[in-house]
Structure 1
Amino acid sequence: MNPQKIAIVTDSCADLSPSLIKNDPIFVLPLKIVYHDRVYSDGVDIWARDVYKRFSQEIPKTSLPDGETILKLFDQIHEMGYQRVIAVNFSSGLSGTHQLVRLLAEEQENLEVVAFDTRTACLGTGAIALRLARYIEQGRAWEEILSLVPRLIDNTHVFFGVDTLEYLQKGGRIGKITSITGTMLQIKPIITFAPTGELTNIAKVRGRRQSMAKVVELAASHYQSEKRCVLLCAHGDAPEDGKLVKKMLMQAVPKHECCYEGIIDATLGVHVGPNLIGAGIQILDDDM
């Protein structure tokens, strides 16, 4: 049910598998994965697992979608009969995707496009897109849906456990001495998104199991017993740890509408390394 002909545009960093969105009006822009000899389109001709497996050979760079790709997607959406678009993209604190989509949206004559900076990534962005799809399915008015998006963004919280300090050191986010010392002591940073949309360190623990427990604890700390919620779990090519985090989170927050799962996109993984684990929660107010 979509009488107002509304589509949703997000990007491949939202960690939404084709099977998860196959019945939803969600369109995914592929970010670019750049190797020394080839540029790939994320989720089209390369997938997160492929990138993680090649980390030992080369750590690629990432890039936002090109303008032509975005304009072609808008044309495709219009040709499919949609009249309005809500764009919810990767945090502007880490990528220029939102800004580019917003600028190109202003040029659209056949579509009414409103772009929002989610100030998050991975399944945080994905959960926002999925909730918007439910609003469309319910037949909610365009203006009502737009009014709910900022609150939906504020109510979505994700946390990640970093397995190695090597990639943070290579990216210049920590010094070499700190990296070596932290590795020796099995220090595992816990990161999240600051209000500005940038990655920020929120805690440090020792050991992998403590890292998993901490991301679950932080996500569960946002739970409000009088409100509905959605749980989020993801991993960076660490499926067994991902299953454990999901089990721990569902035990910590037994009252939830559903639990979305995904593989953490390599767009984030190239900055902080493989084997990431993530846990999150989306709080739904009464009118959501």
Structure 2
Amino acid sequence: MQKIAIITDSSCDLTIDEIKEYNLNILPLKIIYKDREYNDIFDIKPIDVYENLHNEVPTTSLCSPDYINSVLDKLEAEGYTHLIGIFISSSLSGTFNAARLVIEERSSFKSYLFDSKIIGYPLGSIVIKAAEFVKEGKSFEEIIEALPSIREATTGFYTLNTLEYLRRGGRIGKVAGTVGDLLHLKPIISVDEHGAYTTIAKARGRKQSLKKLASIILEHLDECKCNVAILNGMAEEEANQVLDSISSHPNLLKSQVRAIGAAMGVHAGPGMVGVSIQKEI
């Protein structure tokens, strides 16, 4: 009999309650200050990051091999036979490769690792769907066969109040950030086919960028029924405004407003508003 574990990393931006509800195993990214470090999700909240940005902008780092091994030891002791790992885009983080190196050394599990080529709650929504399949009794083979189509049905878009934090983290080129700031252009950011950040549109100013984000959501809803999550980093009021502007669409299934996690907040900074869209599966 198969006993299937789902493992992911903390960039999925799921809550502690969701992690417990779906029996997920999390590899936390590290949030590092000069004199201390924290495990994302478990040891630090987004507000802690935002409130300290004027003193120090932390960095993020991968989960250690020792931590990964401790998670695997726990799963082995609990009798798990199969492991499905679903991780942040390998173009944005070394987490996928770090996990692969450790997990592939373990012969006690039959494992499958999936590079989601996405980040944030879009990743989290893929993880939840896989966990729901486990609860429904689907086999290891059925779940891994379904993952590419779940990913294909899932997308995400973001706009930032400032590009400063992405620039500091090396996630976008300095020139793109400088030009955008000077012209007050706010890019709408997504990921390309390789899972790297790409600008899909630009708007002049904050108000127009939020309108553009809403229009992108409506374009997807015009095509098919979707679940939509509006994401924010200390911008809940604006996130609710975006949700209000699309809430009457007949193809909107479930909708919610969610806060991004601490590690995401390091790179996005305060004021991020985004969306996770998942077509009906």
TM > 0.5: yes
Q: 2:237 aligns with which of 237, 240, 252?
A: 240
Do the aligned partners of 2:122 and 2:156 also contact (CA within 8 Å) in 1?
Answer: yes
Do the aligned partners of 1:123 and 1:233 also contact (CA within 8 Å) in 2?
Answer: no
Unpaired segments ≥5 residues, structure 1: none
Once residues 146 and 160 of structure 2 are traced to their aligned partners in structure 1, the CA distance between those partners, rounded to angstroms, is 32
User: Please, what is the CA RMSD of the aligned residues?
Assistant: 2.2
Instruction: Report the identity percentage.
Output: 36
Partner of 1:142: 140
Matched, 1:110 2:108: yes
Partner of 1:278: 274
More displaced stretch, 213-222 vs 107-116: 213-222
- Indicate how the Cα distance of structure 1 residues 75 and 254 shifts in structure 2: closer, same or farther if over 3 A, else same: farther
Q: How does 1:71-90 map to 2 (within 5 A)?
A: 71-90=69-88
Aligned residues: 280
- Indicate how the Cα distance of structure 1 residues 22 and 256 shifts in structure 2: closer, same or farther if over 3 A, else same: farther
Once residues 276 and 184 of structure 1 are traced to their aligned partners in structure 2, the CA distance between those partners, rounded to angstroms, is 19
Do the aligned partners of 1:219 and 1:280 also contact (CA within 8 Å) in 2?
Answer: no
Do the aligned partners of 2:85 and 2:114 also contact (CA within 8 Å) in 1?
Answer: yes
Do the aligned partners of 2:88 and 2:96 also contact (CA within 8 Å) in 1?
Answer: yes
1:229 CA drift (Å): 2.7
Matched, 1:217 2:215: yes
Do the aligned partners of 1:158 and 1:219 also contact (CA within 8 Å) in 2?
Answer: no
- Secondary structure of the residue that 2:193 maps to in structure 1? coil
The letter of the residue matching 2:264 is L
Once residues 267 and 241 of structure 2 are traced to their aligned partners in structure 1, the CA distance between those partners, rounded to angstroms, is 24
Once residues 133 and 256 of structure 2 are traced to their aligned partners in structure 1, the CA distance between those partners, rounded to angstroms, is 17
- Indicate how the Cα distance of structure 1 residues 166 and 89 shifts in structure 2: closer, same or farther if over 3 A, else same: same
1:174 CA drift (Å): 4.4
1:275 CA drift (Å): 1.2
More displaced stretch, 206-215 vs 189-198: 206-215
Do the aligned partners of 1:9 and 1:27 also contact (CA within 8 Å) in 2?
Answer: yes
Once residues 115 and 103 of structure 1 are traced to their aligned partners in structure 2, the CA distance between those partners, rounded to angstroms, is 11
Partner of 1:54: 52
Do the aligned partners of 2:9 and 2:28 also contact (CA within 8 Å) in 1?
Answer: yes
1:168 CA drift (Å): 4.2
1:145 CA drift (Å): 1.0
1:90 CA drift (Å): 1.0
Provide Cα deviations, 1:65-99, integer angstroms capped at 9, x if missing partner.
00010111111122233221111111111100011
Once residues 247 and 86 of structure 1 are traced to their aligned partners in structure 2, the CA distance between those partners, rounded to angstroms, is 36
- Indicate how the Cα distance of structure 1 residues 174 and 109 shifts in structure 2: closer, same or farther if over 3 A, else same: closer
Unpaired segments ≥5 residues, structure 2: none
Partner of 2:165: 167
The letter of the residue matching 2:263 is T
Partner of 1:268: 264
1:250 CA drift (Å): 2.9
Provide Cα deviations, 1:112-132, integer angstroms capped at 9, x if missing partner.
221101111110100000111
More displaced stretch, 6-15 vs 185-194: 185-194
- Indicate how the Cα distance of structure 1 residues 185 and 264 shifts in structure 2: closer, same or farther if over 3 A, else same: same
- Indicate how the Cα distance of structure 1 residues 113 and 201 shifts in structure 2: closer, same or farther if over 3 A, else same: same
Provide Cα deviations, 1:195-214, integer angstroms capped at 9, x if missing partner.
11111111111222222222
1:19 CA drift (Å): 1.8
1:49 CA drift (Å): 1.9
1:7 CA drift (Å): 1.6
Normalising to structure 2: TM-score of the pair? Answer: 0.91
Normalising to structure 1: TM-score of the pair? Answer: 0.89
Once residues 25 and 225 of structure 2 are traced to their aligned partners in structure 1, the CA distance between those partners, rounded to angstroms, is 27
Once residues 257 and 4 of structure 1 are traced to their aligned partners in structure 2, the CA distance between those partners, rounded to angstroms, is 32
More displaced stretch, 210-219 vs 266-275: 266-275
Provide Cα deviations, 1:203-248, integer angstroms capped at 9, x if missing partner.
11122222222222223323365x5432122101222122222333
